[in-house]
Structures are given as C-alpha cells and as structure tokens.
Amino acid sequence: MLDCHLYREDLERILSADLPWESLRGRRVLVTGATGMVGSLLVDTLASMMDDHGFELIAMSRNREELERLFSIHSDHEGFRMIEHDVNEQMDLSCDTIFHCASNTHPRLYSSDPIGTITTNVIGLRNLLEMASSGDGRFVFLSSVEVYGQNRGDVDAFDESYCGYIDCNTVRAGYNESKRVGETLCQAYGSQKGLDFVIPRLSRLYGPSMRLDDSKAMSQFLLNSARGENIVLKSKGDQFFSYCYASDAISAILHLFFHGESGNAYNVSGLDSDFTLADIAYELASMAGTEVVFDLPDEKERRGYSTATKAVLDISKVKATGWMPEVSMKDGLRRTVSSLASRL
C-alpha cells in the first residue's frame, strides 16, 4: 500500500460506499494486473474488507518484486496470497471471482510490446474466462474508451452503443482492437457457457497509484508538475477527452461488480472531467508555477499515441444503476500531484 495520506483518504472514500460485501463470503477473488494503477488500489480496497467478510484474495502480477513492495502489508491476512504469473500462460489455479485488470496501458508499451498488448487482452483473457466458467462467480473485464475508436463527428459523447473508426493496420490499433475482441469473447462465454460478467469501459485514468514510468501524456504532465518542471505538450493539445480519478474508477468497478447487469458494458468517467489536453497542461503548470512548452514526440512515442481527437463518454447508463463520481478534475489533479511529489 502506498504510504501517502491522500491515497489512504481515497481508500476510505471507496470503502464508505454501502456495498453488499457479505455476498463475497467464502469466495476466492483474483485480481490480475495487481501492481498497476487500477489493480493496486483495487487490491488494497479488497484486502481491507476480506477479514470481516470471509473471502480469500489473490493478487497476481508478472513482477514479484513489485507485489512484495506494494502488498507485504497485507501478509497478516490469512487468506491473502501474491502470485507471480503471466496471464498469457496456462495457470493451475481455481478462482470463482475475477477482476481482469492486467493490460499494457500506455503508448511506449503499445509500440514496444504490441504482441503482449494484444495477447493479454485476448489469450490472457481466455485463460481467465476458462477458469471462471467452471464456477458460479462474477467476472469483471476492464475495458476502455479506446473501443469506440475515432469520433465520426456524428455525436458529442459516446454511449455504449457507439462504434467509431479504428484503422486496424497500425501497431497502435492492437490495444483498441484487442479490447474490442476481449469484450466479444466475454459475450461468447456468457452465451455458450453461461458466464456471469460485467464490463466497465474506463475513460483515461490518473491518480496517486499511477506508475512512474507511465508514458501517457496526462501522466507525463502530472510528473512534470510534481517535479516542478515545465509541462511538455507534444501536440497542439486540442484533444478533448473524458478523464477519471483512480478512486472513482475503483468505486465504479466495485459498484458494477455488485449491481451491474450481467452481460452489459458501462461507461465510467469522472465528475466534471471532460477537458482538452491543453487545459490540463496549463492547469498543472499553474499549480507548479511553471510554463507549458511544446516538443514533438520521438518515433516510438508517436507510434503509440492515439489519433483520436475527441473521446467524451456519456455515463448515463452507470448513473442509472446508482453510481456517481465524486472527485472533480481540479481536485483530482491536485491530489495526484501532491501524492506523486511524496513518491519522487
């Protein structure tokens, strides 16, 4: 668990929601991608509830050292385990409740490991769906705003039925297309094997648990601000996107786990969190007392960047289930910069 009071406040905010935790009693819960931004906060949240509600928890990642660094604090829980494993490989494990958070999630990985980007969202997912289909628990596949592709100019915001354009003959498309296939694979297991699943489609995420090597533009802005550096903008900054603070994302994931309708996908984004990259850059520069400077990306970065210029999510569907985001963009940026500064 991160040693940061703001992170702990985020955790307490998630835990304050009135959720039917007792329904997990006797379950064995698996979180893949446990050392990532989403997975780590999800593990810390679940670990806080496991003793009182009688379920086991397994945190899985390819990096044993990171597992130990993040979660050794939970080793006193009798039902807590850490497993070093690549989900693309077959696993001798039995779990009835699975949160599939493992994925390459930033531009340098999309371009440097395009095969791994695709296989984790398809082959790794299939391995986990096979495991889940032998039980009666719920499966959560974390998807992304990226499945919508480029806005064709016919809508202001994407609802869950929208399908935009993706040029599949690019390395960058590996992420978008594999998330799309992953969602369809979940539908196949639901139809053929009766699997109970739900799919949160997450907007662009940020928060205290983000990795320091994350190459997304937003993440680089946050790191620049935390270090008191100029904010480096590698485009005009007119890309207009939805964002979501990490604790709101976890809150939505857990809410949908308990209350989402089986077989459905739900958009998730933050409170008043639709902004251009330039707006965010100038806000973070103001926080740091620095300036915004412009610099073209190198070839590897460019190949991993999204070509989308507008990707705003309509979250009416998830709100109809009773969930609401709580953290505004300005507050989320402030909290993230402060938390990152304490880690640097």
How does pLDDT run across 197-243, given as a tens digit for each residue? 999 999 999 999 988 888 888 899 999 999 999 998 888 899 999 99
Quote the pLDDT of residue 110.
Answer: 77
pLDDT at 37: 93
pLDDT, tens digit, for every residue of 262-298?
A: 999 999 999 999 999 999 999 999 999 999 998 766 6
Within the chain, which residues score under 70 in pLDDT? 1, 3, 296-308
Report the distance separating Cα 278 and Cα 226, nearest Å: 17
Give the tokens for residue 332: 């989320």
Q: How far apart (Å, rounded) are the C-alpha atoms in residues 25 and 11? A: 21
pLDDT at 214: 85
Amino acid at residue number 174:
G
The pair of structure tokens assigned to 47 is 């670990």
Closest by CA position to 106, among listed 37, 186, 162: 37
> Max Cα separation, the chain?
57
CATH architecture of the domain 5-205+245-270+314-326 equals 3-Layer(aba) Sandwich (3.40)
Nearest to 29 by CA among 47, 4, 13, 16: 47
Q: Which of 219, 257, 233, 16 is nearest to 137 (CA)?
A: 257
Q: Looking at residue 109, what is its pLDDT? A: 76
Q: Where are the domains of the chain?
A: 5-205+245-270+314-326
Residue 305 confidence (pLDDT): 59
This prediction has a pTM of: 0.94
Distance of alpha carbon 188 from alpha carbon 178, whole angstroms: 15
The answer to whether the Cα torsion of 301, 101, 170, 206 is positive or negative is negative
Backbone CA torsion sign across 191, 141, 155, 170: negative
